[in-house]
Amino acid sequence: MIVGIAGGTASGKTSLSRELVACGSTERAAVVELDSYYRCQAHKTFAERLATNYDHPDAFEFELLVKHLISLKEGRAVDSPVYNFAEHTRSIDRHSHLHPRPVIIVEGILALAAPALCELLDFRIFVDAPDDLRLSRRLDRDVRERGRAPEQVLSHWSTTVQPMYLQYCSPSRAGADLIFDGSAWNGEQVRDLWHSIWARIGHGEEQHRKHSVSS
């Protein structure tokens, strides 16, 4: 089963994805981060990389992601790219080896916005959070974890992050099966969501067995 989790930057989708895996165990679930599939920009200068709009669909190599998800769904492991946020490009000599799991969670701002990707999703979740909260979280994360200057983060937010959210990410909410409140949640809510996801697999297996018996 492939689950898509989308939402604006710093809405809580990454944390939710990780907590779902913790509930289900790494033997049952794995996360594929859409950010890992930013296109390689090694051929560009650093200044050109800085000018890239990373919130536009063209920034992602959805073709490779779809190929990898199909492989995982068919039981084959894949080598996922690793993105270097400090250098603004894909790592050339590193990858992440992903093994098939019963639940594959695809997490990213545009996880519900690309038609070819959406066709593979069995369940779609949109994590929603107020704009001011997302900006506060983004500012803290980018300064603390990615070495960005506060003024750089604020400029990025106003020129590309929020405009692209309104143009591409927010409209994808309409295609979600579930809207999850990313402003605050507790462990019980995450456990309930995991059980709901896992039950869908069990139901599918039960239906498959019934069909096999009746045939």
75-117 tens-digit pLDDT: 999 999 999 888 888 988 889 999 999 999 999 999 999 999 9
Q: Has residue 11 been placed in a domain? A: yes
Q: Has residue 121 been placed in a domain? A: yes
Residue 51 vs residues 54, 88, 197: alpha-carbon distances, Å: 9, 10, 39
Q: Has residue 204 been placed in a domain? A: no
Q: Which residues of the chain have a pLDDT value below 70?
A: 203-215
Q: What local confidence, expressed as pLDDT, does residue 151 receive?
A: 93
pLDDT tens profile 49-63: 989 999 999 999 999
Q: What local confidence, expressed as pLDDT, does residue 202 receive?
A: 74
Q: What local confidence, expressed as pLDDT, does residue 81 receive?
A: 95
Q: What local confidence, expressed as pLDDT, does residue 211 receive?
A: 32
Q: What local confidence, expressed as pLDDT, does residue 215 receive?
A: 29
Q: Has residue 213 been placed in a domain? A: no
Q: Has residue 13 been placed in a domain? A: yes
142: CATH: 3.40.50.300
Q: Has residue 211 been placed in a domain? A: no
Q: Which tokens hold the place of 6?
A: 């989308």
Q: Has residue 149 been placed in a domain? A: yes
Range of the domain at 21: 2-198
Q: What local confidence, expressed as pLDDT, does residue 120 receive?
A: 96
Q: Has residue 46 been placed in a domain? A: yes
Computed over its alpha carbons, how large is the radius of gyration of the chain? 18
What is the tally of structural domains in the chain? 1
